Amino acid sequence: MIFALGIVPILLLLFGFPIFIVLLSGSVLALTFYMQMPLTAIQQNLMGSLNSPGLLAVPYFIFAGELMSRGSVSKRLVDFVRSLVGGLPGSLGVTTVGTATVFGAISGSSAASVVSVGKVMHPAMTADGYPSSFSAGMITSVSAIGIIIPPSIPMIIYGASAEASIPRLYAAGIVPGLILAIMLSAYIMFRARSGKFGTAEKPSVTQIFATLGRAAWALGAPVIVLGGIYGGVFSPTEAAAVACAYALVVTRFIYSELSWSAILDAASSTVFFTAQVLIIIAAAGLFAWILTVNQLPQNLVAWIAQMEISPWQFLLAVNILLLIVGCFMDPLSAILLLTPLLIPVVDSLGIDKVHFGIVMTLNLAIGLFTPPFGINIFVAQSVLKMKTADIYRGVMPFFLVFLAALLLITFVPAITLWGMNLFLF
């Protein structure tokens, strides 16, 4: 059984097989050669893993993000945030953090944030005297906030995989996301002041209102989504559908930026990305079912209980594991592979599943920009036309800031749980 569920999947993973084939092959081998069960279980599980209304939020939020990231939404957000923080040292850097945070609340995609925010902010920061590698590292790393601030696609996947409430996860993500944004802004302000770069320009009230007016429709998306969910108006899935409709109306009729063919193109792109993700969910559901039937998570729990590991030791070990995994694997695949194994241990140690979900998401968010293989690095390299080595150098200080935030959020669960209770009334 270890051969089918451990050695074969790891080998196929290392040999670059598609993740869904890795999971499917391990499952098929286990069912065919080691288990006395009818093989129709494969079909039933491949179907059953996706047969969940909660997962509809995945294509819907991706579609809403696709629509909003085309056109001038990011420019409008940048102008608004800049008018708010213009008086601070390193105001353009703080604007980048603020825009990535708001953009994350609209699109939930980190790579989209690198593209949209990077295109606008990198030339502006270069013109304002920011060291090029510093601004590139900033854009590459701060965009990872997008998957911590709700709506977050990795959180939906985690919620489905761990049977955790998605509204609770969303509510729990807000405060850690904001803490991260504050820590990053503080670091940027410190660097701008000590390095004597970046100009500060105190904004006028008229300017703030003017930019607010231009960005109001874009800012309406997170208000409708989060307000709708926590006001009890609709479920997270319905909120995602409403976000799509809202994005469609704003980009097509209000900003008049997207033609019908551009909307269809956005829908086609969404199909592509959605299929990449959902196919792994289907295979991971089968894999998780086989793990459960063979009581592997339970055995892992018993083994960890024997070792008398405390919750904080477990969380520390998981942080190290996830930081390493995050360097090599995309967050969604990592969540789907590891959650079924880790959740029984999390439960047995009395760790809150929602808190663990935030810790997991934050770890994997860091992996998005950790050298050498973080996906954001390659997106930034393509958008900013910079050398990889310069981006590597630029992200390192931000990696340390994220790491500090991770330790704080991991070992002070009150931060996530307080935020969750605050937004859930």
Partner 1 sequence: MGSSVCTFAIKRVVMVFFDKFASALQALLGVMLIAMVCLSVYNVISRYVFNSALLWADEIAVFAMIALAWLGAVVCGWRSAEIRMEILTSLLPSGAQRWVTILQQLVIAVLCAWVAWQALPYITRAYAIGMRSDASGFPVWLIHAVIPFSLVLVALIAALRCIRVLAGFDPSFAPNLNNAPASEDQVLEGRAG
The residue ranges that bind partner 1 (CB under 8 A) are 12-21, 24-25, 28, 39-40, 42-44, 46-47, 50-53, 55-56, 59-60, 63, 234, 237-238, 241-242, 244-245, 248, 263-265, 267-268, 270-272, 274-282, 328-330, 332-333, 373
How far, in Å, CA of 304 to CA of 352, rounded?
17
Minimum distance from residue 352 beta carbon to partner 1 (Å): 29
Q: DSSP letter string over 369-404?
A: T-TTT-HHHHHHHHHHT--HHHHHHHHHHHHHHHHH
Sole residue written with tokens 């998780």: 288
Ramachandran bin of 202, using left for φ above 0, alpha for ψ from -120 to 50, beta for the remaining angles = beta
Q: Phi and psi (nearest 5°) for 27?
A: -65, -45
Nearer to partner 1, 1 or 271 (CB): 271
Nearer to partner 1, 32 or 204 (CB): 32
How far, in Å, CA of 255 to CA of 218, rounded?
10
Nearer to partner 1, 115 or 174 (CB): 115
Nearer to partner 1, 246 or 314 (CB): 246
Minimum distance from residue 47 beta carbon to partner 1 (Å): 6
**Residue 154 CA: distances (Å) to CA of 10, 148, 332, 410:** 22, 9, 6, 18
How far, in Å, CA of 385 to CA of 379, rounded?
10
Minimum distance from residue 267 beta carbon to partner 1 (Å): 3
Nearer to partner 1, 71 or 89 (CB): 71
Nearer to partner 1, 39 or 254 (CB): 39
Minimum distance from residue 385 beta carbon to partner 1 (Å): 22
3-state secondary structure of 134: helix
How many residues does the structure list for the chain? 425
Nearer to partner 1, 49 or 416 (CB): 49
Task: Name residue 250's amino acid.
Answer: V
Task: Name residue 58's amino acid.
Answer: V
Rounded to the nearest angstrom, the gap between the alpha carbon of residue 8 and the centroid of all alpha carbons in its chain is: 29
Minimum distance from residue 235 beta carbon to partner 1 (Å): 9
Minimum distance from residue 289 beta carbon to partner 1 (Å): 15
Closest C-alpha to 412, from 343, 324, 339, 311: 311
Nearer to partner 1, 17 or 255 (CB): 17
Minimum distance from residue 110 beta carbon to partner 1 (Å): 15
Minimum distance from residue 336 beta carbon to partner 1 (Å): 10
Cβ 147 vs Cβ 376: under 8 Å: no
Rounded to the nearest angstrom, the gap between the alpha carbon of residue 57 and the centroid of all alpha carbons in its chain is: 14
Q: Phi and psi (nearest 5°) for 105?
A: -70, -15
Is the omega angle on the peptide bond into residue 331 within 30 degrees of 0, that is, cis? no
Minimum distance from residue 239 beta carbon to partner 1 (Å): 9
Is the omega angle on the peptide bond into residue 372 within 30 degrees of 0, that is, cis? yes
Nearer to partner 1, 270 or 410 (CB): 270
